[in-house]
Structure formats: C-alpha cells, structure tokens
Structure 1
Amino acid sequence: MRFHRVDPAVYGAGSRTGLRTDMTTRVAYSSDAGLFRRIPAAVAEPHGVGDLRDVLAVARERGWSVTGRGGGSSVAANAIGEGVVVDTSAHFNRILELDAEARTAVVEPGVVCDALRRAAAPHGLTYGPDPSTHSRCTIGGMVANNACGSHSVAWGTAADNLISLELMLADGRTVTVGPEGCSDEEIDAKLRALYADNAELIDTELGRFPRQVSGYGLHHLAENPARAIAGSEGTLGVITKMKVRLVPVPKVRALAVLAFETVYDAAAAAPVLRQPGVATIEGMGGDLLAALRSKQGQANAGKNLPGERKGLAAGGWLYCETGGDTVEEAVAAAEQVAGSVATIDHVVVSDPTEMRGLWRIRESSAGTVTRLPDGGEAWPNWEDSAVPPENLADYLRGLYALMDRYHLRGIPFGHFGEGCVHVRIGFDFTTPAGVAAFRDFMHEAAQLVSSFGGSLSGEHGDGRARSSLLPEMYSKEMLDLFAEFKAIFDPEGVCNPGVLVDPDEVTEGLRMDPAQRGLDITPVHRFTSDKGDFLSAINRCVGVSACRSEDDAMCPSFQITGDEVHSTRGRARLLAEMYRGEALPDGVRSKEVEEALDLCLSCKACASECPVNVDMATYKAEFLHHHYRHRIRPMAHYLMGWLPVLGAVAHRIPLVPRMVDWAMHAPVVSKLMARAGGLDTTRPLIHFAHENLQRWQRRRADAASSSDDRETVVLWPDSFNNQLGTAPAQAAVRVLEALGFDVIIPDGFVCCGLTWHSTGQLTVAKKVLEHSAEVLEPYLDEGLTVVGVEPSCTVMLEHESTELSASPQIARLARQTRSFAQTVAPRIRELVDDGALDVSGLPAVSALTQVHCHERSLGDPQEAADVLAALGVEQETISTGCCGLAGNWGFEKGHGELSMALGERELFPRVREAAAADTTVIADGFSCRTQIEQGTGVRARHIAEVLLEILGQAGLAGERG
C-alpha cells in the first residue's frame, strides 16, 4: 500500500515508477542523519535498471544533480541533494543470488543489511560489515560509504568484502567494475594510467591503516578497481548491483565486556586485544551510561555492565566478542581475552538474550549521546575520526583538550580496536558566533587527527560534514588526483556534487542554524525535558533512522507503507521545516505537515524505542492544536474527541444507551452515522454499554462489605470501561475485592482527556484533567491509590498529564496512579508464596497477549506478565506493538484499510492460531480488543477477566452484585 504523490508526466509508457515532486516528500528527504539540509527537486523510487535510466534521462533534461540514497542513515550528509534523490530502498532491493558454496551474494543496492544476513544465516554465513544501523541501512549505501561496523577487526570494511559492482553513470550507461578492471575500455585505460602514473603518491598517502576512509580509495586500483568505487559516496554514479563476499560465523559466541578506570585506559588496551579469534573490540565512554539512563524508560539500563554491578565507576568499556564450536570454547576464549589486560572489572556472557541486551547499549550509542545526561544537545560532524589504533589513547586526550578549549562536551564510543572514534559534540548552532566556533573547531580537529596519522572519516565517509577539510589531511597533488578520478566517471559533475571534489563548505546549508527558528510557537505542552521548547523537542530527531527498522514496534506506518514521509524521521523533518518557514511558508497551517502526520497512529513506540525518545504522538497533538485553532475541525475530531462527554450525557437519559447501541450496529443507520461523523465506513462501529460502570457500582453498594483492615483504592472510571464495554472493569472490581481491597468508583464525570489529546484539542484536555483531579482530590488527600484499568488512560494519567498541566493536584494524581496489574501483583504473589492460593490443581492455561502500545512504551507490562506466570499461565506476547486501531485513528476516514493491514502483520494471524488451539487471547486495551474482534471475530479478554476466572476456580472470588 502506497501513499505517494507522483508526477505522471515524467516517464514514458511502461515505467512503473513515478517521480515524487510534492513538497511533503521533498522535505521528508531534505536531510539524512547529518547536520545539513538540501530540498531536492524530486524523489525517485526505481524498481530496477530501466526505471533508473529513465530517472537519469529526466535529470539530464532538467539539469538536475543525482544523489543515491538507501536507508538515509548517513551521518555525514552523503545522501541529500538539490536535484533528484534516488531512493533504492523502496523497490530496488532484491537478493538476486546467494551461492553458499562460493560464499558470495549478488544484491541490488536497496537490500537492507539485515535482510542479507538473514538470508545467509541458514548456510552458516553472514555479511561481514555490520554498522549499528544494520536493521535499516542498505548494502548499496554501505558500499558507497565504505561502512564497517563492530566486526571489522575480523571481517574488514565494505570495500574488503566487495568483489564487483555495476554502476550506472550520469549519461545512462552501465559499466561493470571488478578485479579484471572496468567493462568500458576507455574508462579502464584511464584508471590504469591514473594508478601507474601516480603509484608512489598513492602508496605514500593512502591505505596507511584499515580505517582510513577519507577521500577515494585509489590504492585499491591495482588489485580491484571496484573497491576504489567503494567509499565514493555516490559521486561517480548510482550502484545498480553488487557481488559481495559472505563469511562463516562461529557456531557459538561469547562476549567479554571489560571495564576500565578511564576511557583512555580502554583506548590504550584496545590494540593489545587485536588477537586471533577476537571479532570485536568496541569501546564506550563512561558518560554514555548516564546519558542512556536519562532517557525515557531507561533508568535501569546497563545495570549488568562490569563495574556497575560492583558499584565501581567505570570510565570506559570494551566489548570483545569471541567464537567457538562450543559454549565452553567461546567462553574460554573470552576469559582469556579479559585476562590479557588490566581492568577494574569484567563480565563474560554467552546467553544470546543477555548478549543482545548488552549489544543494544552499544548500538544505541549514536542516538543516545545526542542528548547529554543533563539534557544538553550534542551533534554529529566530528563523529567519525580514526587513527592507527596504537595512537588512539593519545588522540583522545588531544580531542578532549580541544573540546575543553572550545567549552564543548561529548561522549566517545566506537570501534576502538581499529582506532575509530564516534562522538557527538555539543555545538551551538543557535547564534552566528556558535556557528563560527563550530567551523573553527572542525578545522582544528582535522589538523589534530592528521597529526596522529589519522583520517577525518573511519566509516561514515566525508560527505558534506568533512569534505571541505580534506586539504588538512591530503596534499594538493592528492586532491587533484581525486578530482581526476571523479572526472573519469562523472565528467560533468552531476553525481552528488558538493562531496569529496569541489566540496561545500562545512557551514553551508546547515539544518541546525539561527535561521531554523523562523516561527514562534508557544506550546501547550510543557516539554519539560526540552526546556519548554517545541522546536528543541523536534530537534531530538537527528535521523539515525531506527524508525525505519522492522525489528521493533516503531514505526508502524513506515513498516506498512515503506514510505519515508510516514516514518518518525520524515515527520520530524516536516515539523522542523515548518519552523524554518522557507519550503513550508504556511507555518502551523501547513497542509504538508498535516499530511505527513495523518498516518501517525500516536502509538508512542517512538517515545521509548527511538534512541533519543522522539515523541511524535505528542508532537502531532501539539501541531493539531495550533493547526485547527479557531478553525472548524474534521467531524471525527468532534465525535471521537468528545466521545467521553457524549457518552456521559447519553448514560444519564433512560433508554438512550440501548438506542445508541442499536443505531451503531443497524446496517443502514450505522453507515449513515459513520459518514456523518467523518469516520471510515469500511469497519463496524463500537459497542455502547446499556448500563455504565458507575451505575453498576452504585447498584452493588448496599451489598458491599468493608472493614478497617481492608485497603481502599479508587478505580478510575475511564470512558472506555465506564461507557462502552464494562466487563473488564467489573472483573477488575471483583478481583480487587477478592484480594482484600475496598473499591471506590467516583461519581460524576472524570476523564484523563486522552481523546481530546489525540485529536489535538489540548485546551479542553487540560481543563478536563484539572477538573478530574479536583473531583478526586478528597481521595488523593487520603493517600489512596488510583487504579487504572485501561492502559492508555493509565499512561495518560501517569505521564502525559503532567506535561499538559503544572497543577499540584495533577502531579499528585500522577504519583498515586497505578495500573491494575501493578496493584494486584504484590497481593497475588503473597498469596501464592503463602500457599493461600494454590493453582497447581487448576486447568492449564496458555495465553497470547497483545500489550497495549502505550503501556509497552511508557508503562510496565512486566508486572502483568509476572502475575500470569505466578498463576501458572504460559503466555507469548505479540512483538509488533500497536494493534493498528490506535484509539480514534483507525476509525477516522481513510484509515480503515491501513488499520486492518497493520493488524495482519502479526496480530491477526497469531490470534487466529490461538483461537484454533483454544489459547486465551489477552488484550487490556479497549482498542486492542475492538481491533481483534473486528479483524478475527475472536473476543479477547482483559487480564482482570482472566484473573477473576482463576481466582474463582481457586475459591477466592465469587459473584456479588
């Protein structure tokens, strides 16, 4: 399913690709993971060589430059341009051949690194280069940048693993380059002459150590010219096909994590660890852990790191991976490595899950360190320098001294075993003076790394970040040779201009500069982690592209569309450009921003899975508030946003709830209601309770029993469980009572404001929250716990509410709110431990759980999992995150088909299998249960309903009222 704008006049008959020229798309592609912006004239997504040739023909006709792009994870701004950006990731992404015997693969440029690794895995092979962005970067982009990754000490760079490639030149010709030379005789002759005439210069200045990636790799011309094209950053042509080497992987791996007193000690130890059998020597500075723990939901991150477990303050760590045929062999090798250098502590792990958890800390570094522990911002551009490994410790000391002199801060990490340092630095781009200091620092840093025999770039390429600094590293003769090399392939300078040859200045076209703040917005949200500034919150997105991965829950709309516009990063680019006011001059009235945000489900996955906690759901709500301020909104905003009030009013009038429920499911009437309310007519409407929860509880009041030794709690009567489907809340009340609680359900209207928040009606949401806090004030004064049954409402109370209001009552409500599972878990564990609750003789229960996306992101779903485990329930969890309904989103006009497609990713097929196997399906979210029922016909149950049944079978819960 695609949601593209295309220019149908561009291609001739038979072309399957449209050229996207709408401003929404162009702005989404205006930046990658670097600091620079270029608004392209168009974006192309070719399916193959024929389409690409058409694109280049159009570029020649219109005088456009051509820039290739894969996953857009380039930190050096290699993948942006003002002409046509060619995105190969969407369609030009097939694995054409995999020869396990020869250990080779032939791939198109848009193949994602992990896709090739998964295809090779059954044969005991992998693709050696593995940057931390391996879940979304493409092989074409990796070869273009000469990417390396953590295993490069064992398997080398992308160039080392390249056998041959096909390259389409700007004039549409395709040439093949490999060990035998170039298929074009004229080009081949020029390449041979270039090397023969300059061999001494090339041997002197190039290929001095493995991570010398800056400039062109002309030293490869003698052995395999294809490897000289690796690292050319799209400046020679567009790669259309590659033959790459695959490498065998050990049967078993172990990981030794070594802790050092300082990062310099870690750097000094790294070259010593370049021993046979050591596949990784990755380093991290000690401050990285503090930065990670400052992120949403990461308070306990790294607790198993060496040093941390003993209360020792480590200043640096090294990750050393070893392999073997058996666990014992791999662990023994790891222990030997750990014992070969002096450390303050170390740990060796071989459990794959434990190893994955430790690697996640290292792999999230690129995003994590863009926010320093105190919330300060840090940026790339001097993020990829490299020196011979034996010089690394001294170079780091010099780099720290240089940062101190400029009053800058940064946290180093990287491939210490090969002398490559990644660091994000706290440059100030808000003032001209700050930009000038940035420029001066970059030049001095280039001089510093050159003084240690190093390279401006170790794997990211030079791009617009460092190309203008190449004169600090290379002689004029070498720079002239680079220009000659480019001219052999691209004599007119069409391919990725401004990079490597005739480079843009280091301050030209910065995405972060004083002009970015062209719009003044007073936000409703407090943005407490971003100094109250909406733009600073938006600028959290540095573009590391984790939102383009298919491994986690972020980002559902990208995973189903494959469209950059509908990624978290694409939306952030639109919002940032809205502030600048150049490409999007309409500001908060921008239709382009509204279009980009339309498919954001507000699932909150990015708030936790994004390495820097970009919270697009909040940004969307803030934008919609300003976009529709003093304007008529879509009908769905009124109907779905004001549903809590409409439901409350309906339940005060006898017979109306029954009539509403009938109308919402009468075939003709329901369609008319949906159409009139701006809802999607392709799906059924929701059910409406005939009696609300508050009335049900009042009927039971006379039968209630209470005593002084029973703890009293307040059950939050959220609109979903109070007015639409009351069975889960009723079960929650009965479970709480069975566990020794007295339950109060407040009378009158209370609401967390979620539906107003998700539709951007923030003023109303804030007022509703503050009113509700006042209603609950007597209970809060008593110190009573407020129990949430609906996960989205619970998260709204615990987290979102304090960002909307600074009211002390709101803060107190947030502190005293607990989820249902958090409330009952201690009691149930106590009963099980004491033997008062014996489930050994009860029927076995297996369950499939759909964790609500908000709870997964900002809540604590582990409590529910632990409760079920304590009661003997064997459960599995849906891994894809959001169910696809996402509250009001899935009901809004135009979202129905995509909503159901999201359910079919994993949820619907797994639920159907569960139903066939008589497995209980658990979904605490009202939206999740609705989506499951409408998509599969299966009725999912709230955990409270499951617990009530188990407690009833054990004789601890009965019916009352």
Structure 2
Amino acid sequence: MSAQSSIQTLTPEAIEMRERLRTDLTTRAAYISDASIFRRVPQAVLEVRSEADIALGIEYAKAEGLSITSRGGGTSVAGNAIGEGLVLDTSRYFNKILDIDPEAKTARIQPGVICDQLRDAAAQYGLTYGPDPSTHSRCTVGGMVANNACGSHSLAWGTAADNVVSMKIMLGDGSVVEVNADGTNSDELDGKLKALRDANLKELRTELGRFARQVSGYGMHYLLPENGFNVAKALAGSEGTLGVITELVVRLVEKPKHTALAVLAFETVFDAAAAAASLRRPGLATAEGMGGDLLDALRSRPGQQSAGSNLPGMGAANRGGVAKAGGWLFCETAGQTIEQARSIADELVQSAYDAAAGAAIDAVVVTDHAEARTLWKIREASAGIVTRLPDGGEAWPSWEDSAVPPENLAGYLRDLYALMDAHGLRGIPFGHFGEGCVHVRISFDLGTNEGVAIFRQFMEQAADTVAKHGGSLSGEHGDGRARSELLTRMYSSKMMKAFASFKAAFDPEGLFNPGVLVNPERIDESLRPGPGQRSFELTPVHALSRDKGSLVNAVNRCVGVGLCRSDEGAMCPSFQGTHDEVNSTRGRARVLSEMFRGTTLPDAYKSEEVKDALDLCLSCKACASECPVNVDMATYKSEFLHKFYEGRIRPMAHYTMGWLPKLTHWMHQVPGVAPLANTVLRIDAVQRLVKKVGGIEPTRKMITFSGESLQRWAAKRKETEAESPQGTVVLWPDSFNNHLDTGPGQAAVEVLETLGYRVIIPEGFVCCGLTWHSTGQLDTVRKVIKHTLDVMEPLVKAGYPVIGLEPSCTVMLGHEITELVPEDPRAAALSAAVVPFADLIAKHVPADGKPSAGWPFEQLNVGAVSQVHCHERSQGDHGSSSAVLRSIGIDEREIETGCCGLAGNWGFEPGHAELSRSLGERELFPAIRNRAQDDVVLADGFSCRTQIAEGTEARGMHLAQVLLKAKITG
C-alpha cells in the first residue's frame, strides 16, 4: 500500500495530529537531551493537547515502529526524558489544573502542570503541593511523579510517591487504566500484579523500601498487603516505562503558618552530613546541605564575587578558631506561631553547638521571608552552579543523587571523596542531607575515550560503594540511562527479574522508554559531550576567556537544568512568549551542540536549522546573568551569524540596521539632510518602499532622526563659565543618543554641569559596535572598536571617566570589547573607565535624600513605571537609578518581566513583530496604560522608548531627562 493511500485510511483526527508532528531537524535537535549527559535524537515530537492526542500518538508510533518517551519540563538528570522514537511533550498544552478539592486536600491535574503552577493555585486555600525540587519553577508534576522527585521539604511531606492519590495511564493498546491506593480498575491487571507480588514477597520486603530515599528500581513494595496494594504509589518512579500518564490526583498539604530558617556552618561537609541525621525532630521541615566548594564555584561567576557573604561561618570569629566553614545545613522549621518556629530553630542550633564531635562553628536564624529567600537561593542554584567548578572546569551529572540511610551519610561521603581522589576527579556535594541524599556533579572527561573509560570505572565502583553503605543508586529523579545498568550491583537477580515482569504486565511490547530500568542501555552509550562532539570546533572571534577560547566549551555550560523555561525573571523572553522548547536557551544550546557534532546537522555553520533556532533569540543577555552557569546565547548567536554569512549576501536588515551608526553619522555630516529624510519618510508610499527595500518589518513605524547630532549641538553650545569642581567627564555619544534622540544627551550635559562637571563629548565617529555585534558582523565590530580606541586613547589616558547613557552601549564598552579585542590593552583601559550615568549621579545623592547645596534637584513626588533595559538588568546594576529616583521623590515600580520586546534591530526584522508586541503586552504596556496620570515612564534604552511609544503612545524618559525636570531653577 502506498504512503498516500495509507494516509487516506486515517481518521481526520489522526491526519490533523500527524500534521502537528514536529519532524524538522531544528526541533529534533532541541530535544536530543534533558538535564543529563546523554544524547538521543528523536524521530518526531508531538506537543500533546489532549488524551486523544496521546492515543493517536501511540497508534502512530506503533505503525512506524517507534518507541515512546514522555517528557515534561525536560529537567530529568538521568536521561529519563529522551528517546529515539516519538517524544510526547505535555508541558506546552496538556497542563490544566482540572479541580482542587480543599476539603479532601487533593488536586486533579493534567501531567504537564508546572509544580509552581499547582502550588500557586493551591495557595488560595492555604494548601501547597509538598514535593519541591530545585526546578519547581519549570518541572512538571507528571515528570515529578514519573521520576519520584522529592525536594527540600521531603522531611515533612515525603516524595512524589507519598503524595500521589491516583493516576490514569494509557497503555500500548490505547486503553486507559486508573490506578489508586487499592489497585486498578482492571481485574486482569490486578491479578497479574498480585501473583507477581506473592511470588517475590521476601525480596520486596528485604530489598525494597528500606529507607525513605530508596527510589532505585520500581516501587513494588507498595504492592505488599501491609502497604495496602497501593498501585498508584508503585507506579510513581516508573520513569515513563509502563505507559503515558494522562491524569493525576495528588495530595495537597497545609502550608505552615510560620517558618524560620536556621543556617548552620560546619568545619567540613562531613560534619554537616553527620549532624543532619541527629538534628531531625518534630517541626523540622528541611535539612539541606552543601559543601564549601559550592560557594567558591558561585563566587567564580561574573558579578558574584561577594555571594554568600551573609552565610554564617564566613567571618574570623567562628567557634574553635576555625577560619572558614566548609559545609552548611539549611534547616527550616515550622510552627503555629512565629515564636514557635523560632524556638524550634534556636533549639536546633543549640543542639548543633553542643555536639560532642563535629559541632557547628556558627549559625544564623532568620524569620523574615525576604532574608530567608536570599539564603535559599544559594542552595537552590546548586544544580546549575556545580556544573562549573571554581576554576571553570566542567562537571557532569550521572552519579547525581545517590542516597544512604541518613546515619550513614558522613561515612559514605568520605568514601565517595576517596573514590573521586583515586580517579583524579573533583565534585561539589549538596543535597538533602537530612534524608541521606547527596547530589554531586563530577569532573569527568567525557570528550575522550580514555576519559569515558574512567567514567565507567568510577560509576561501577561508586555503585558498589553506595550499596556497601546500605544505600540506593538514586535518592530521587530515578535511574534513567545514568544508572539502570548498575541496578544489578544493588539488587538480587530475582529482584531484577521481578522488575522485568512488572514492566511486562503493563508494557508487554516494550514500547515505552526502552533502555531504562529493564534491559538497560549502557551508562556510557551516546554521550552528548562525548567523543565526536567537536567535529566542527572553530576559533571564535570572541576570546571566550572563561571557556578556554572554545565555543564548544561555552555551549557545554548548558547542562539543561531548564531555568530558561521558567516564567519567572527575565530569562528567556522568547520562550516565555512561545513556550516552545526550541526557543528556550537550553533548546538553542542543544541545537548548537548538534551543530558541532556535524551528524544530525551536517551543514554545521551553514545550517539553516541552527539559524532558525537562533532567529527568535533577542540577544537580551538575560541568560548571561540569570542562567546558573551564565550561558551567553547572545554571544553564541553572534558567532554563528558571523560564520553563517561568511561569503554570503546578508539580509537587508543587517545592512540597514547593523550599519545604522555609520549611516546616521554620514547623514549628520551634511546639515539639513536629517530633517529632509524625516519629511520624505512621512509620505506613506515612500515609507513602505523604504521598509521593503531596507528589509524592515512592514508593520513597524519608522524611526526618525534628530535635526542635528548631539556632537554638533555640543560643538555649537557655549561651554558653561562656571567652575568645574568635580572635574572633567567624557559623555559617550552613542549612536542612539547622538543621532536619533538627542534629548537624553542634552539633558545629561545640563545635569552633569549642574553637579559641577566639565563635560567633553568626543568628536568624529566613535562607536561600541553594538549593532554589528547583534547581527554577527564581527570583523567589522573589531575594526570599529579599534578605530574608537584610537579616538578615545588620549581621553582615557587623561583619566577622565567615560559616562554611558544608553545601557546596551554602556555594557558593550564596559564588558564586551575586552573579549572582542583582547590583544589591545587600550580596550581594558576604556572598559575600566566606563561609568553608567546613574552610578555617577548616585554618588551625589544626599544621605537624607533632601535638597541641599550639593543636590540641586527638588522632590517631584510622583510615581514611575520603570522599564529597566535588559542589558542593564543582565550585566549592570539598576540600584543606582533607583537610589536617584528615590532622592527626587519618585516611587518607582520596576517592570519584572525583563526585555521590552524590541531588542534593537531584532524587533525591526521581518517576522518578529508579533512576538515583539506580545512581549510588551506581558506587563510593560498594561502597566503604562494603567499608571496614574502624573506618573512618569522611565526607560533609559532607546529601543525601550521606541517600543513604548509604539505600543502605548506614551513618552518614555531617560533618567537624565527626569533629573532635568527636577532641577531647581532660579
């Protein structure tokens, strides 16, 4: 039968589903991995919209001979959520909360519901969902149940298995089975499971369920009579190997009325591990641990040099003369009153101080929520932070979350450290010490065959080590491809046969997630960062000094923890706008990783698939700061575009927008040309033609040009005769404030002179190269920067601060140029001289915030909607601007969602307008429309002001213009 006649036999629903199947190489490359080290290229991805979709997907997979892998947020660290067949992604559409019953304290949900989504919905009833892994802002509850995730509060609320009431799963024949605490709705299946249980009573009672965090293998001990034949709990942790979850009912718990956080410091991580077990008591909800190396790793990140200074044990006055802590416990206590929670925390601290051996050397107890969140963020960022060691070396998961009975943890950790030392490996431990579970990323060399051989030896010996301590290969998140092969070192052959029979009872055809738990794949099979990944390694234009000059090393920063898939924070705007994995920072990193390998994407740097994956990256640089390992996708995009268009004609937008600094400079060389251009461009037909020829999005309004440049305005202006007691500063004439909107620059000159500065504006063409950088014209960027250094050299040598007005250009000068021309010491000198405008002004703010002789600005006493430029947010500090605004009586409301959506040339490129405007509608546009009548709109970025004007018709103001408005006259 031909393919055409075959498809004609399908139902309309099946045809429609197949049309939605994503089989393009870009999507398949984005799904090659989760948060693990493994690589599997799927044949197709289906973003599930309904239970019917799942049935049609199973039917399609069987017809095509494909396996089926279920996937939620893709944060699985053991390779549980990848496969070479059909991937069913429930996270984008199959994510509804169907019902919350506050009386029964349950929630009925679809599997794609995000953990925090459920917790937020339950909060209105004073309830929450207990399991809370560090990925709670993006992991799905279906994935949590499938991998038996736990989180920091498992001491109080248990694992995902402890919190599942019932579930529906679809089997390979398309039937839906409901499982609950009393069995299933299938007598035939119940009979098989009871027979299997009865044939293995001894093994189920002696090998399984020995301690809370033993989650390796199937949870068949829940089938025991004494456990009520609870099939729902038995299926938790089955890692998608039995069927596809279509619906869940989970238990909700009461949120503690009050909490306190005790952070205890110890001399070593082993002391912290030993103390964790002894500190368990009623009212203790968490006992989370981490090693001192984790803090060192965090402090190695840009802008994080002082991170953790609020942790106890960092001063010189610790008990016993210990100079610095080497391990910490984060212990949250709960009570009916704040006094009760505080009392339990204080008792716990005293107990830790009184320990005969390994006593705490310092501690702090906090009850303020904001203070507690600041401390917790250090621990929660661990999963990403520890993928890079303090010296920048790579560290990988796989021996990721082993667990032992809590009283054995200190001894196990010592043996684990000794094993790492024996193999020349390093790692940073953290985890749920109170339940004996430890996470560690280890410095495996996965890029060579020799390194992979050491990896295998270590994994086998580590499995033997944890078994010796009575432990489990996995304490949460499942075994996946990382550890399933090692289960024979933990369980008897009879137990392993029982696992195989358990899978066969649900999945006799072996359709679901093959290679996991039963008939496992090798632990070193098809490693994503393994040998072969560097087939298309190249020398980048950027120095990539933190990645040893390697773009592969830079891309490998992304281990896949998926914070870029969160709707919190500024990262990643294109994912937040589309919820498409391809448009996440992680998805793009995976596509780039495939490009380097050169198999799935053989065209490498000329690959249209890679260009498509990067197309919606706004180059906002949110990932450079918010990603735990500082993935900088904007830089990687520039490098790719540089190679992709090498020897090719570029899109016209790269010429019109990328070369805008030169075009506007030439325009202002001839007086009268700019006003004439504005007049002509107001003619609709001319404007449409210019946009078409210039490759500009047709629905965008054209920008206008200043009548004269800021440089010409300054040259014509008489210099103030007042003395300059504050000295001389150089005002950087970025292309936007110099040629397109001179108002902020003119205001800045007046404000700076009012404060007692002599202001110099460099003459001639100077530019940071931003627009060429964002379009990947990196050879031109280097030429422009070198020319700029020639012009600026005498001013920098004179010691004048260089004041930046446009945040993107300020960041380019202050951070990027040293990576682009590292061989020129003048770049470092200019970078060091750059001072954001707000930082300079903030130095003059009176301590009491009141007008004085040295502070010539009055109180405006209005509100402000403040759009912080994405580059300032990611690589700057808005604190100075906030301090200045407070000093003139402005109550600032900062937009939390990050990038305005225009992002320079990106928003003007064809095809980007819809997403660009939708990003503005997330928060920015509504906040402006709903502001009070007299409230100002603060936007230091030209792009932000342009987006605001088009989306709301409001006029955004630069901080300099606001200050000029507040200037005391007379």
Question: Is 1:357–2:374 an aligned residue pair?
Answer: yes
Aligned to 1:641, the other structure's residue is in SS state coil
Question: Is 1:168–2:170 an aligned residue pair?
Answer: yes
Displacement, 1:708? 6.2
Contact 2:724 2:756 in 1 (8 A): no
Displacement, 1:550? 0.4
Displacement, 1:349? 1.0
1:334 aligns with one of 306, 324, 345: 345
1:346 aligns with one of 341, 353, 363: 363
1:854 aligns with one of 858, 868, 871: 871
Alignment-mate amino acid for residue 131 of structure 2: P
Contact 1:10 1:58 in 2 (8 A): no
Query: Relative to 1, partners in 2 of residues 1:9 and 1:248: Cα closer, same or farther, differing over 3 Å?
Result: farther
Gaps of 5+ in 2: 1-5, 318-322, 354-359
Which stretch of the first structure deviates more once superposed, 334-343 or 756-765?
Answer: 334-343
Displacement, 1:704? 2.6
Displacement, 1:841? 7.1
Aligned position for 2:271: 265
Deviations 1:550-596 (A, max 9, x none): 01110000111110000000000010100000000001000000000
1:23 aligns with one of 22, 25, 39: 25
Contact 2:860 2:890 in 1 (8 A): no
Aligned position for 1:300: 306
Displacement, 1:310? 5.0
Deviations 1:153-196 (A, max 9, x none): 00000000011100001221110011221112211110111112
Aligned position for 1:287: 293
Displacement, 1:897? 1.0
Question: Is 1:792–2:808 an aligned residue pair?
Answer: yes
Alignment-mate amino acid for residue 590 of structure 2: R
The separation in 2 between residues aligned to 1:625 and 1:759, in whole angstroms, is 8
Displacement, 1:200? 1.2
Aligned position for 2:612: 595
Contact 2:448 2:531 in 1 (8 A): yes
Query: Relative to 1, partners in 2 of residues 1:10 and 1:380: Cα closer, same or farther, differing over 3 Å?
Result: farther
Aligned to 1:318, the other structure's residue is in SS state strand
Aligned to 1:869, the other structure's residue is in SS state helix
Question: Is 1:728–2:748 an aligned residue pair?
Answer: no
The separation in 2 between residues aligned to 1:549 and 1:523, in whole angstroms, is 30
Which stretch of the first structure deviates more once superposed, 133-142 or 342-351?
Answer: 342-351
Which stretch of the first structure deviates more once superposed, 825-834 or 721-730?
Answer: 825-834
The separation in 1 between residues aligned to 2:917 and 2:367, in whole angstroms, is 40
Query: Relative to 1, partners in 2 of residues 1:947 and 1:238: Cα closer, same or farther, differing over 3 Å?
Result: same
Alignment-mate amino acid for residue 337 of structure 2: T
Displacement, 1:648? 0.3
Aligned position for 1:506: 523
Which stretch of the first structure deviates more once superposed, 675-684 or 928-937?
Answer: 675-684
Cα RMSD of the aligned pairs, angstroms, is: 1.6
Displacement, 1:363? 0.7
Aligned position for 1:715: 731
Deviations 1:305-334 (A, max 9, x none): 111255741100000111223322222221
Aligned position for 1:863: 880
The separation in 2 between residues aligned to 1:663 and 1:684, in whole angstroms, is 14
The separation in 1 between residues aligned to 2:809 and 2:581, in whole angstroms, is 30
Q: TM-score, normalised by structure 2?
A: 0.96
Deviations 1:517-575 (A, max 9, x none): 11131210100000011110010000000000001110000111110000000000010
Aligned to 2:539, the other structure's residue is in SS state coil
Aligned position for 2:700: 683
Alignment-mate amino acid for residue 13 of structure 1: P
The separation in 1 between residues aligned to 2:471 and 2:440, in whole angstroms, is 16
Q: Show the 5 A alignment for 1:232-631.
A: 232-310=238-316, 312-342=323-353, 343-631=360-648
Alignment-mate amino acid for residue 110 of structure 2: E
Aligned position for 2:12: 13
1:777 aligns with one of 793, 813, 817: 793
Question: Is 1:948–2:964 an aligned residue pair?
Answer: yes
Query: Relative to 1, partners in 2 of residues 1:886 and 1:772: Cα closer, same or farther, differing over 3 Å?
Result: same
Deviations 1:221-278 (A, max 9, x none): 1321111110000000010111110000112211111100100000000011111000
Aligned position for 1:4: none
The separation in 2 between residues aligned to 1:527 and 1:188, in whole angstroms, is 59
The separation in 1 between residues aligned to 2:801 and 2:829, in whole angstroms, is 11
Contact 1:97 1:107 in 2 (8 A): yes
Displacement, 1:297? 2.2
The separation in 2 between residues aligned to 1:832 and 1:78, in whole angstroms, is 56
Deviations 1:710-729 (A, max 9, x none): 41000000000000000011
Displacement, 1:834? 8.7
Aligned to 1:683, the other structure's residue is in SS state coil
Query: Relative to 1, partners in 2 of residues 1:840 and 1:692: Cα closer, same or farther, differing over 3 Å?
Result: closer
The separation in 1 between residues aligned to 2:555 and 2:295, in whole angstroms, is 23
Contact 2:846 2:855 in 1 (8 A): no
The separation in 2 between residues aligned to 1:950 and 1:385, in whole angstroms, is 61
1:153 aligns with one of 152, 155, 162: 155
The separation in 2 between residues aligned to 1:93 and 1:664, in whole angstroms, is 47
Deviations 1:912-950 (A, max 9, x none): 112x44211100000001001100000010011111111
Displacement, 1:756? 0.2
Displacement, 1:895? 0.4
The separation in 2 between residues aligned to 1:298 and 1:841, in whole angstroms, is 36
The separation in 2 between residues aligned to 1:60 and 1:49, in whole angstroms, is 17
Displacement, 1:831? 9.2
Aligned to 2:528, the other structure's residue is in SS state coil
Displacement, 1:198? 1.1
Which stretch of the first structure deviates more once superposed, 733-742 or 348-357?
Answer: 348-357
The separation in 2 between residues aligned to 1:257 and 1:680, in whole angstroms, is 54
2:778 aligns with one of 755, 762, 768: 762
The separation in 2 between residues aligned to 1:878 and 1:792, in whole angstroms, is 18
Query: Relative to 1, partners in 2 of residues 1:237 and 1:771: Cα closer, same or farther, differing over 3 Å?
Result: same
Query: Relative to 1, partners in 2 of residues 1:132 and 1:846: Cα closer, same or farther, differing over 3 Å?
Result: same
Question: Is 1:670–2:687 an aligned residue pair?
Answer: yes
Displacement, 1:666? 2.8
Deviations 1:327-356 (A, max 9, x none): 222222211221111211111111111111
The separation in 2 between residues aligned to 1:759 and 1:838, in whole angstroms, is 42
Displacement, 1:873? 1.8
Alignment-mate amino acid for residue 967 of structure 2: L
Contact 2:851 2:857 in 1 (8 A): no
The separation in 2 between residues aligned to 1:9 and 1:483, in whole angstroms, is 39
Contact 1:578 1:593 in 2 (8 A): yes
The separation in 2 between residues aligned to 1:831 and 1:458, in whole angstroms, is 54
Aligned position for 2:938: 922
The separation in 2 between residues aligned to 1:795 and 1:951, in whole angstroms, is 28
Aligned to 2:561, the other structure's residue is in SS state coil
Aligned position for 2:757: 741
Deviations 1:46-97 (A, max 9, x none): 2111111000000010000000000000000000000000000011111111
1:135 aligns with one of 134, 137, 161: 137
Alignment-mate amino acid for residue 43 of structure 1: V
The separation in 1 between residues aligned to 2:586 and 2:609, in whole angstroms, is 15
2:891 aligns with one of 871, 874, 880: 874
Query: Relative to 1, partners in 2 of residues 1:489 and 1:314: Cα closer, same or farther, differing over 3 Å?
Result: same
Gaps of 5+ in 1: 1-6, 956-961
Query: Relative to 1, partners in 2 of residues 1:10 and 1:258: Cα closer, same or farther, differing over 3 Å?
Result: farther
Alignment-mate amino acid for residue 880 of structure 2: E
Alignment-mate amino acid for residue 145 of structure 1: N
Alignment-mate amino acid for residue 115 of structure 1: Q
